[in-house]
Amino acid sequence: MTGAAVYIVGMGIVSSLGLGLDETTDALINARRALTTSIPFPIASPQHLPVGAVSLAEAGQSPPRTHRLARLAADQALAGCETPPDAIVLGSTTGGILTTESLFGQKIDDPRRYGMHALGSVAEDLARRSGCTGPVVTVSTACSSGAVAIKLAVEMLRCGLARCVLAGGADSLCRLTYFGFNALQLIDPDGARPLDRDRRGMSVAEGAAMLLLSLEPGDAACPQIIGAGLSCDAYHATTPHPEGAGAMAAMQAALDDAGISVSDIDYINLHGTGTIDNDMSEARAVKTLFVSGLPPASPPASSIKGATGHPLAAAGALEAVVAALSIERGFIPANVGHRTIDPALGIAPVTSPLKRPVTTVLSNSFGFGGNNASLIVSRTSRRPDTSRTASGRPGLTIVGRACLTGTGLTDETRRVFFAGYACRGLLADGTLAQGLAPRLIRRLKRLPQMALSLAVHACNGVDAERMPVMVSFGTAWGALSETHDFLERLTETGQQYPSPTDFIGSVHNAPAGQIAMLLGAKGANVTTSGGDYSFEQALLAAELLTRQTADPIFVAAADEHHPVFSPLFDASVRLATQPADGGGGLLLQRRQAKGATCIDLVHYGSGEPADGMKALIQALGGAAAMDRRFGAVMVGLPAGRRKQAQRQLNSFLELSRFQGAMIDYRRLTGEFGGASAVASVLATEMVARGGVPGPLVGGTDQPLNGKGMLVLGLGDVITAIRIFPS
């Protein structure tokens, strides 16, 4: 193997098939189809499309539905665990939006009622309940989210960042996805029939699955994640590459990561949504990888989405659990709903459950934006070669940079900020579109335009060999304009004419997909959503995914201001003196470069425990190293958590005894989720120049004398980004 295998020491699952491992196994062995027309929200149309709904007991003032599903799965995975996980990585696309939809439809404008809207609130809820104080990361890459979350968790363990990680995915049914996929004409009114000749589309579903992962086995027989691969089609916002190029790249990357060949695969758990294009693309990729022809040239293959429906972000994690169950209990699930072989596919799926030994499973998950993820689950006695986790790799060098704020793009923001003036506000659409071809942004609203602007300007003038292969993008709230406009039109038209364009744009990873298509970036494509710390999560993902490669990666974060949703969702926006939005982006590459400026995420942990600040100081090398390593600190104190953040800052100063310049950057940038990305770009400028402009420190210019700068994030989470000369 080329990477350390990771043991699955706990599992939890909830879907339309049932609750827990036993109910799920029983339903799969008996090929039960669990689709229903019972939907957990009112439908105006007399025709209810079949969905994969979970039977949840109503519980008064319980949290939003996605949170409840995630809790059920996490409680199973953590059962009997005496210590909390070191980290949590969760994939989600819905968060608390089902609750938001109801409130919005009733025209309720009390911000307290929207407190669990954010995607990141699901993982944060699990962290509070489990006692996890380490990194809590939310991944939103559409239908591959759960599998991507598992990949990041595996890399956390391999590099020693954690000893035990809870990873998975959770999504609930909601109006956005139910009506959105139907508006795209991707729903089969008779229920999903993956790979069937007469398939007409998918069935939207809900569910959650969580895996407790460790480098130490729970018992001698527990399955392992031995490989994981990511890719991006960089082809189309919704349609997969017709030849399955991205899907094949993800599968091959997973095989390479595991150090095995196609002949070692006993079963392929297909993504298999039942849509015409997706099934064809995946079938072509499988045939190409496993040699053309019908089985037995390739191993048995099936999709379980005809039984469960498509639970979106939960799909990859749910199917990873099913892969582990196939190995533990010796069966291959049927492709429920399949009746007639489609000769155009060249794949004949398993139509009845097979009782047989299974050692190694390849599980696929693909999503909007061309996001592809493949996992390999196995029970193998081979010990991995862990040399790939060795330290001493070059740091992430900053090759290009860009930012935008209310005053303009990079040069104008730098000029105003370095003069000590506020650059907060809302950039005019015309200025935002500078450098972007009109055809490129014709149907794009504010957030994707911001993302593309950052990518274009950060990569301007960069050599072809340093153009990004990967993309890691952070956003606290996603595309608010598209989400608002979709829900508003859905309400105004009595649920009859929702906008398919707004639905496509509403997914959190849509901007990252646009960046990939623009730049031709076909490597990993990750979107994170963790509130004010979304950029830090994107940077963490970038560091994890580039540990064994020198491929350039574009890391960015941005958030738009929306007049209706921003004040409802974000406490800092409500307290701000004026509306503001913006973002920042860095083109990074892991390489040695004398005289370059480098970046790394030194610390990411909870802001709650009393010893959280002590952990930060220790991660920074101790108090004695602070003045030696850092010439200035850019500190972010979110307005919504300013009292808490100020206490943390006082503790930081007391423990670190730092005597250098402190810059309260959010007073100048304004309040928005991607503010730390702007601060990181501006800190990079100062490190490259070798000094801090006088207006920022109330006096004359302050030389850095070869030292770096620290971008410190405070509030609910404590983060530290180090920017330093190589």
Which residues participate in catalysis according to the annotation?
143, 271, 310
DSSP 3-state of 48: coil
Q: Looking at this protein, which amino acid is placed at residue 528?
A: T
3-state secondary structure of 402: strand
For the chain, how many residues are written?
726
Spell out the SS3 assignment of 570-626.
Answer: CHHHHHCCCCCCEEEEEEEEECCCCCCEEEEEEEEEECCCCCHHHHHHHHCCCHHHH
Query: Would you give the end-to-end CA distance of the chain in angstroms?
Result: 33
Encoded tokens for 11: 């599992």
Helix or strand holding residue 695 (H, E): helix 694-697
SS3 326: helix
Q: List phi, psi (to 5°) of 209.
A: -150, 140
In Å, the largest CA–CA distance within the chain is 78
CA nearest to 331, candidates 305, 351, 358, 296: 358
Neighbours of 508 (CB within 10 A): 31
Closest CA to 313 of 166, 150, 516, 195: 150
- Asked if 599 and 585 count as a contact pair (C-beta separation under 8 A), the reply is no
* Burial 395-420, CB ≥16 within 10 A → b, else e: bbbbbbbbbbbbbbbbebbbebbbee
Cα dihedral: 614, 617, 618, 621 (round 10): -170
3-class DSSP state of 217:
coil
Cα gap 333→300, rounded to integer Å: 10
b/e map of 494-506 (b: 16 or more CB within 10 Å)? ebeebbbbbbbbb
State yes or no: cis peptide before 296, omega within 30 of 0. yes
Pick the closest to residue 533 from 679, 675, 652 (CA basis): 675
DSSP 223: -
Radius of gyration, CA atoms only, the chain: 24
- CA 9 from chain centre, in angstroms, equals 23
3-state secondary structure of 317: helix
633, 709 Cβ separation under 8 angstroms:
yes
